[in-house]
Amino acid sequence: MSVYDLDPLLLARIQFAFTISFHIVFPAFTIGLVSFLAVIEWRWLATRNTVYRDIYKLWVKIFAVAFGMGVVSGVVMSYQFGTNWSLFSDKTGNVLGPLLGYEVLTAFFLESSFLGIMLFGWGRVSEKMHFAATVIVAVGTLISAFWILAANSWMQTPAGFEVRADGILYPLNWLEIIFNPSFPYRLVHMVIAAYLTTAFVVGGIAAWYLWRKAHVKHARIMLGMAMLMAGFVAPVQLFVGDLHGLNTLQHQPAKVAAMEGIWENETGAGLRVFGWPDEEAEETKYAIEIPKLASLILTHDMNGEIKGLKNWPKEDRPPVAIVFWSFRIMVAMGLAMILTGVMGAFLYWRKRLFESKPFQLWCMAMTPSGFVAVLAGWFVTEVGRQPYTVYGVVRTADSVSPVLGQHVAFSLLAFIVVYTFVFGAGSYYILKLIGKGPVFKPVDDKPDLPGREAAPFTPTAKPVSGEK
């Protein structure tokens, strides 16, 4: 096969999957992280406990790196719709364009402008203004999530539009477009996911500090906050995820059939814990089932009916194996998070939360769980939407740009090389910052405004060795 035979559609899909997967990791982390920072800064201003200030200074540096990588990988996204999906852009621009436009106007500028104050304004603006900047950036990330998830949800459950004779989609009702049927579920599910992702990163790092007996005061606060999230919010996510699944069953039953690996219409369908969906043979091989559980979860009735994939012609089905497996990975991560919360609560009750070594190891292992769950979840929802870009309206094959396969191959290769290098380096610097820990240098507070009391250099803020 020569480069001239490369399938531009497949390559464009791989390129989009690759760049968006890299991108989503950063917003998923920063949405939660900046809210965490806002809480920490509020505690610092309220208690004047320098431990909080040091935690802020550590995580704001990590936030800067992660946010920078999110920005640059996000700029790529805003151009890729045109470079690789120009027919999609032409058809859906009337509907999706305004949503993305609002995201830039109401969120991106807000975040990027006040980020400057958040990162470099310490000591230059008043403490209240600095806190306000942190809160504004946090609100900005949530506004951004609102618009981008409205756009994505509309692609999943399109509403409030019509297709005219020219083949172009035109808006009929903006409220129906924005608040399309799957939007509320996806928004809540994703924001909670972002918060949990951050919680498990913060908790994992805290556990590592406790393991090394370094920065113990900081680590206790960080682990405590992470466990609050794991204990109270992870179970809520299970409930929200269930609602989201019911919504998907209603609007995209083929996706649910792929998630469950169900081929025939079944009443009292069993939950396939494991199995191998075989798209040629149209069956899920080697399945280990829990009887009736899938029907119970999806229809809230032991004998409810679930439609199988064979209801749709082969060319209208999503790729089954990816959806099936990604869904299991996501659920497994979610259950592990809930388990962490339960263990945390138990240890807290036994007053061993900050001492138990096995639990510290477990938390360290759980550090990337949020990222894994977020990526797996997006694989479920995006691959499950195939073979459409706008579900039931615009097919993926009718969305791609008239660009030759070899050029997409070139750009895909370039993205893989550059992203691996750049984001590898970014991860390395984040790890380096974590390794250094919340060490407060008095130099950081130097550009104090006249008349403002300089922050005292207290024993809690001593370098690493001082705490051992």
Partner 1 sequence: MFSFAEYINLPMVWGALIATAVLLYVLLDGFDLGLGILFPFAPSDQCRNRMVNSIAPFWDGNETWLVLGGGGLFAAFPLAYAIVMPALYIPIIVMLLCLIFRGVAFEFRFKADRSKKLWDMAFHFGSLGAAFMQGIILGGLVQGISVEGRSFSGGAFDWLTAFSMMTGLGVVAGYVLLGATWLIMKTDGETQKWAQRTAKYILLFVALFMGLVSLWVPFLDNAIHTRWFHPSFFFWLLPIPLLTLFCFVRLVVGLRRGDEYSPFLCSIALFFLGYLGLGVSLWPWIVPFKVTLAQAAAGPESLSLLLVGAVIMLPVILCYTAYCYYIFRGKAPHEASYG
Residues 259-288 interacting with partner 1 (rule: CB under 8 A)? none
What three-state secondary structure class fits 325? Answer: helix
Question: Between the CA of residue 312 and those of 251, 255, 263, what are the distances in Å?
Answer: 14, 11, 10
> Does residue 420 contact residue 23 with C-beta atoms inside 8 Å?
no
Closest CA to 31 of 140, 164, 129: 140
Q: Is 79 exposed, middle or buried (0-12, 13-18, 19+ CB in 10 A)?
A: exposed
75 binds partner 1 (CB under 8 A): yes
Binding partner 1 by CB under 8 A: which of 10, 47, 48, 78? 78
Q: Between residues 210 and 394, which has the closer beta carbon with respect to partner 1?
A: 394
> Does residue 142 contact residue 110 with C-beta atoms inside 8 Å?
no
Question: Rounded distance, CA 356 to CA 260, Å?
Answer: 38
98 binds partner 1 (CB under 8 A): yes
Question: Rounded distance, CA 133 to CA 199, Å?
Answer: 22
Q: Between residues 121 and 253, which has the closer beta carbon with respect to partner 1?
A: 121
Q: Between residues 161 and 325, which has the closer beta carbon with respect to partner 1?
A: 161
Q: Which residues pair with 271 in a beta bridge?
A: 290
Q: Given the rule CB under 8 A, which of 23-31, 103-111, 189-197, 231-239 is the region that contacts partner 1?
A: 103-111
Question: Rounded distance, CA 391 to CA 460, Å?
Answer: 56
Q: In angstroms, what is the minimal distance from the CB of 334 to partner 1?
A: 32
Q: Given the rule CB under 8 A, which of 80-88, 218-226, 365-373, 374-382 is the region that contacts partner 1?
A: 80-88
Q: Between residues 119 and 321, which has the closer beta carbon with respect to partner 1?
A: 119
Binding partner 1 by CB under 8 A: which of 21, 49, 106, 367? 106
Q: In angstroms, what is the minimal distance from the CB of 102 to partner 1?
A: 5
For 10, the token pair is 């497949």
Q: In angstroms, what is the minimal distance from the CB of 325 to partner 1?
A: 31
Residues 414-433 interacting with partner 1 (rule: CB under 8 A)? 414-415, 418-419, 422, 425-426, 429, 432-433
Closest CA to 332 of 382, 274, 283, 275: 274
Element containing residue 146 per DSSP (H, E): helix 127-156
97 binds partner 1 (CB under 8 A): yes
Q: In angstroms, what is the minimal distance from the CB of 217 to partner 1?
A: 19
Question: Rounded distance, CA 376 to CA 365, Å?
Answer: 18
∠ CA 222-71-435 to the nearest 5 degrees?
A: 35
Q: In angstroms, what is the minimal distance from the CB of 175 to partner 1?
A: 10
> Does residue 253 contact residue 188 with C-beta atoms inside 8 Å?
no
Q: Given the rule CB under 8 A, which of 109-117, 215-223, 333-341, 381-389 is the region that contacts partner 1?
A: 109-117
Q: Given the rule CB under 8 A, which of 88-96, 192-200, 243-251, 337-345 is the region that contacts partner 1?
A: 88-96
Residues 438-457 interacting with partner 1 (rule: CB under 8 A)? 443-444, 446-447
Residues 368-407 interacting with partner 1 (rule: CB under 8 A)? 401-404, 407
